[in-house]
């Protein structure tokens, strides 16, 4: 039962949160801190979200550990010691488990609990959430912390069910791990997950065949043990470091240069790229201010990476196949540890599926371009139905029985990526049309959680029972998000940012470009009495 007078008698809880990753854990902590009763439903058997599921070899963050972590609690950020520049999956999972224990969160989390529907009762202004086992609970507020990259994409390859070996997806990695030693392995996909897994698998496997649809731009991560002196310096004034980070999407110490790539002589430009290549990390993309705006500027970065690939990969045919032809950075830039070098190994082979399409999976392997590749293990590194996928998999019904999936059939429609009209009291954390995947996601998550918690506090203080955006505000936001993207090179690629990786998904930009401007806009909305939201 609720502890708060606003919640109607009859509601089981004040708030239900779906998902126990970075977002769900902090949301629960905030709700509890406000004296609300809350429960988290999590499909997995543990906390961690992304870092629970993506336990493939080589998985690690590509934003530096000191930034890819919570800042809401000073003691927490001081006491946790990161061991590597980019923490590996087991370390990030251990961190999130520590957070769950430190703030005593587990007692309000139901594990192994998949939410299948969420239905709004207009009369009572309550959400009823149902689990796959049939259990139900009601609450005033429902927060979807279901993740932007949590709904794995397994392409429908004919014959998959006939395969006699092991099939795994990087985003649903077997808890018991996978032993590749002496095995013949196929990896399908060459995005961020594959880039990390391929060098590790190649070291163990007898043979590795990589099936590539689109070649990838990748720069060295430059991962290394984290220098204790660097960690000490950041922690000495973590607040200032976080503040610097909040003024840009990622990279507090990136040296974001506010100069066009075309404004410097070619030799100086290449020297800049070279310095950043050596330093490692996504700071490469911050070398100039117009790399995702001007095609000509973009080509300078693309040419630099292609030259690196030709210099690293000894077989010219493989080097050519690994060289991307699309716009640099319009698919997420990958950070690797020895990815291109892996193709110099005698046990690794690249298959370009544009020339040799995967026709079928057979009991003994894959058939591509007429050739049968006998393998023991197939790894699908084929990504996610990003941003909308996890929400689409839940039957969410708002006012008048409106289905969220139907409302979003032509593309997501939200206000600030936080709410959608017709779905009162339903919030999404880093949902579609918020900056989410274009940012360091942990600060983005914290900003959303704080916004939602403050909005709920605002409602309780004034006795409101429901909040939702009003249509003109939502329409303007959808247009605004599209217009920003249209002024960049992002629409030029078939990326998951546009939903282009999922057959039949509408091709629209799924996230808002720009974090500081977004935060500013949210502050302004609140200052103007939650402009664009309707309370009742």
Measured between alpha carbons, how far is 450 from 77 in angstroms, rounded to an integer? 18
The span from the first CA to the last CA of the chain, in angstroms, equals: 23
Residue closer to ligand NAP by CB (options 332, 399) is 332
Report what 141 binds from ligand NAP, ligand FAD, none; CB cut-off 5-8 Å by kind. Answer: none
Q: Within 10 A of 505 (CB to CB), how many other CB atoms are there?
A: 18
Measured between alpha carbons, how far is 534 from 468 in angstroms, rounded to an integer? 5
Report what 335 binds from ligand NAP, ligand FAD, none; CB cut-off 5-8 Å by kind. Answer: ligand NAP
Name every residue whose Cβ is closer than 8 Å to that of residue 511 and which is 6 or more positions away in sequence: 148, 387, 417, 432, 433, 434, 435, 436, 437, 438, 481, 497
- DSSP class of residue 361? E
Given a contact cutoff of 8 angstroms between Cβ atoms, the answer to whether 80 and 221 are in contact is no
Beta strand 533-535 with 467-469 is antiparallel
Q: What is the DSSP string of 228-240?
A: HHHHHHHHHTHHH
Report what 379 binds from ligand NAP, ligand FAD, none; CB cut-off 5-8 Å by kind. Answer: none
Residue closer to ligand NAP by CB (options 37, 54) is 54
| Binds ligand FAD (CB under 6 A): choice among 138, 193, 214, 216 | 193
- Interface with ligand FAD in residues 353-412 (CB under 6 A): 390, 394
**Two tokens at 377?**
């293990």
Q: Which of 268, 271, 215, 283 is nearest to 67 (CA)?
A: 283
Q: Which stretch binds ligand FAD (CB under 6 A): 57-65, 304-312, 326-334, 403-411?
A: 57-65
Closest approach of ligand FAD to the CB of residue 410, in Å: 23
The angle, 0 to 180 degrees and rounded to 10, between the axes of the packed helices 295-312 and 266-279 is 60
Measured between alpha carbons, how far is 136 from 395 in angstroms, rounded to an integer? 14
Residue closer to ligand NAP by CB (options 47, 221) is 221
Interface with ligand NAP (CB under 6 A): 61-62, 149, 155, 170, 188-194, 196, 211, 213-214, 332, 335, 353, 381-384, 437, 496, 501
Contact mark string toward ligand FAD, 68..107, x via CB under 6 A: x---------------------------------------
Given a contact cutoff of 8 angstroms between Cβ atoms, the answer to whether 270 and 262 are in contact is no
Closest approach of ligand NAP to the CB of residue 148, in Å: 8
Beta strand 348-352 with 207-212 is parallel
Residue closer to ligand FAD by CB (options 333, 378) is 333
Report what 23 binds from ligand FAD, ligand NAP, none; CB cut-off 5-8 Å by kind. Answer: ligand FAD
Measured between alpha carbons, how far is 172 from 164 in angstroms, rounded to an integer? 19
Interaction between residue 440 and ligand FAD (CB under 6 A): yes
Residue closer to ligand FAD by CB (options 188, 390) is 390
Report what 68 binds from ligand NAP, ligand FAD, none; CB cut-off 5-8 Å by kind. Answer: ligand FAD
Residue closer to ligand FAD by CB (options 390, 525) is 390
Tell me the C-alpha to C-alpha distance, in Å, between residue 280 and each of 223, 284, 306, 307: 8, 7, 16, 17
Closest approach of ligand NAP to the CB of residue 50, in Å: 8
Interaction between residue 27 and ligand FAD (CB under 6 A): no
Report what 241 binds from ligand NAP, ligand FAD, none; CB cut-off 5-8 Å by kind. Answer: none
Count of alpha carbons within 13 angstroms of residue 471, beta-carbon side: 2
Report what 283 binds from ligand NAP, ligand FAD, none; CB cut-off 5-8 Å by kind. Answer: none
Q: Within 10 A of 503 (CB to CB), how many other CB atoms are there?
A: 8
| Binds ligand FAD (CB under 6 A): choice among 49, 365, 398, 499 | 49
| Residues at the interface with ligand FAD (CB under 6 A) | 18-24, 41-44, 49-50, 52, 54, 59, 61-63, 68, 114-115, 145-150, 171, 193, 390, 394, 429-430, 440-441, 445
């Amino acid at each position: 039962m609720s502890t708060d007078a606003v919640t109607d008698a009859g509601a089981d809880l004040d708030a239900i949160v779906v998902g126990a990753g970075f977002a769900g854990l902090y949301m629960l902590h905030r709700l509890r801190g406000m004296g609300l009763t809350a429960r988290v439903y999590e499909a997995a058997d543990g906390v961690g979200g992304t870092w629970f599921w993506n336990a493939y070899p080589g998985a690690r963050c590509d934003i530096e550990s000191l930034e890819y972590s919570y800042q809401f609690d000073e003691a927490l950020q001081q006491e946790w010691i990161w061991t590597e520049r980019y923490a590996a999956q087991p370390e990030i999972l251990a961190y999130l488990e520590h957070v769950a224990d430190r703030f005593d969160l587990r007692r309000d989390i139901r594990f192994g609990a998949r939410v299948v529907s969420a239905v709004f009762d207009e009369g009572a202004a309550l959400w009823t959430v149902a689990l796959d086992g049939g259990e139900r609970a009601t609450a005033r507020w429902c927060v979807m912390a279901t993740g932007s990259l949590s709904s794995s994409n397994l392409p429908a390859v004919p014959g998959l069910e006939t395969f006699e070996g092991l099939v795994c997806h990087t985003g649903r990695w077997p808890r018991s791990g996978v032993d590749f030693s002496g095995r013949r392995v196929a990896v399908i996909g060459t995005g961020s997950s594959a880039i990390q897994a391929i060098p590790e698998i190649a070291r163990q496997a007898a043979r590795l065949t990589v099936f590539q649809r689109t070649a990838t731009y990748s720069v060295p991560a430059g991962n290394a043990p984290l220098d204790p002196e660097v960690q000490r310096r950041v922690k000495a004034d973590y607040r200032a470091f976080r503040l610097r980070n909040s003024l840009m999407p990622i990279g507090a110490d990136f040296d974001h240069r506010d100069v066009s790539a075309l404004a410097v002589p070619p030799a100086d430009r290449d020297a800049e790229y070279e310095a950043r290549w050596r330093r490692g990390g996504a700071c490469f993309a911050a070398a100039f201010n117009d790399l995702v705006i001007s095609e000509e500027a973009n080509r300078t970065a693309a040419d630099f990476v292609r030259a690196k690939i030709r210099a690293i990969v000894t077989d010219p045919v493989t080097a050519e196949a690994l060289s991307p032809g699309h716009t640099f950075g319009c698919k997420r830039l990958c950070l690797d540890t020895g990815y291109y070098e892996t193709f110099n190994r005698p046990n690794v082979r690249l298959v370009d599926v544009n020339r040799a399409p995967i026709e079928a999976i057979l009991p003994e392997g894959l058939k591509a371009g007429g050739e049968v590749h006998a393998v023991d293990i197939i790894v699908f590194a084929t990504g996610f139905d990003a941003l909308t996928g996890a929400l689409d998999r839940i039957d969410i019904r708002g006012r008048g029985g409106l289905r969220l999936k139907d409302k979003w059939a032509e593309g997501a429609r939200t206000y600030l990526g936080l709410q959608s009209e017709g779905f009162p009291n339903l919030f999404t954390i880093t949902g579609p049309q918020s900056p989410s995947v274009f940012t360091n996601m942990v600060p983005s998550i914290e900003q959303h959680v704080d916004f939602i918690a403050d909005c709920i506090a605002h409602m309780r203080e004034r006795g409101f029972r429901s909040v939702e955006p009003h249509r003109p505000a939502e329409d303007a936001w959808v247009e605004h998000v599209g217009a920003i993207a249209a002024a960049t090179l992002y629409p030029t690629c078939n990326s998951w940012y546009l939903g282009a990786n999922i057959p039949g998904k509408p091709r629209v930009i799924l996230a808002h470009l720009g974090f500081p401007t977004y935060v500013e806009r949210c502050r302004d909305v609140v200052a103007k009495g939650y402009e664009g939201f309707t309370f009742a």
